[in-house]
Structure formats: structure tokens, C-alpha cells
């Protein structure tokens, strides 16, 4: 996925929800990742590559909420 469309946003949200995020959290993260894609001039990044870098919610809570 390279561009922000409704269908791609929903697919991206589902990818992030599988990592334990709520719909609202996943939507926020997905929109930020699509913004990065929009500004990418190299063509290297895809949503899937950016989503793979997102840690699971469980890991996030373990690292940042102590």
C-alpha cells in the first residue's frame, strides 16, 4: 500500500489492531504512517514496512508505562 485511500486505511488499521491496538489508536498510527509515505521521495517505503516497525501494544506498555 502506497497511498491513503479508505480501503488502504482500513487494511492498515487491521494490521495494527492485530498488534493489540484499539481501533482509534490504530487509526491514528496508520494516518501518521501514510503521512510518512506521502512525504517519501525515494519510493522505498510501503505501509507494510512501516507497520512492521511498530511494536505491539503490550511491548509498548512494558517499555514506556512504568
pTM: 0.90
Q: Supply the Cα-derived Rg of the chain in whole angstroms.
A: 12
User: Is 2:46 a contact under the CB 8 Å cutoff?
Assistant: yes
The answer on pLDDT for 42 being more than 80 is yes
What is the pLDDT at residue 2?
84
34: pLDDT strictly greater than 90: yes
- What pLDDT does residue 1 have? 83
- 38-66 core/surface letters (b: 16 or more CB in 10 A; e: else): eeeeeeeeebeebbeebeebeeeeeeeee
Q: Please give the Cα distance from 35 to 51 (Å, whole number).
A: 13
Per-residue confidence (pLDDT) for residue 30, from 0 to 100: 97
Amino acid at each position: 500500500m502506497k497511498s491513503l485511500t479508505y480501503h488502504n486505511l482500513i487494511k492498515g488499521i487491521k494490521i495494527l489492531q492485530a498488534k493489540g491496538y484499539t481501533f482509534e489508536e490504530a487509526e491514528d498510527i496508520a494516518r501518521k504512517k501514510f503521512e510518512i509515505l506521502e512525504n517519501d521521495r525515494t519510493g522505498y517505503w510501503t505501509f507494510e514496512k512501516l507497520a512492521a516497525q511498530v511494536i505491539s501494544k503490550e511491548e509498548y506498555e512494558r517499555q514506556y508505562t512504568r
